[in-house]
Amino acid sequence: MRKYLIKDISISEEAEKTIMFQIQSTCHPFTKCLIKSLSELNQQLQEEFSNSEDITETLNKLPIKPQDELFKRVFGCGLQCPFCKVPCEAGGKDHKKHHAAVHRPKGLGGYRIIKNDKLAETLCTTDVHSECKFRNTDTKWELHPFKKYTKYYPDWHIPPDSSIEASDYWKYVLVKYNDRFAEEYKAKPADVPEAWRRITKEQALKGLKDAYNIK
Ligand SMILES: [Zn+2]
Ligand SMILES: [Zn+2]
Cβ atoms within 10 A of the Cβ of 143, count?
10
Q: What is the pLDDT of residues 109-158, one digit of tens each?
A: 999 998 999 999 998 998 999 999 999 999 999 999 999 999 999 999 99
In angstroms, the CA 125 to CA 170 distance is 14
Ligand nearest to the CA of 108: 1
Ligand nearest to the CA of 102: 1
Ligand nearest to the CA of 99: 2
In angstroms, the CA 132 to CA 148 distance is 10
pTM over 0.75: no
Q: What is the pLDDT of residue 163?
A: 67
Confidence of residue 2 (pLDDT cuts 50, 70, 90): confident
Where are the domains positioned within the chain? 14-51, 74-211
Report CA(213)–ligand 1 centroid distance (Å): 20
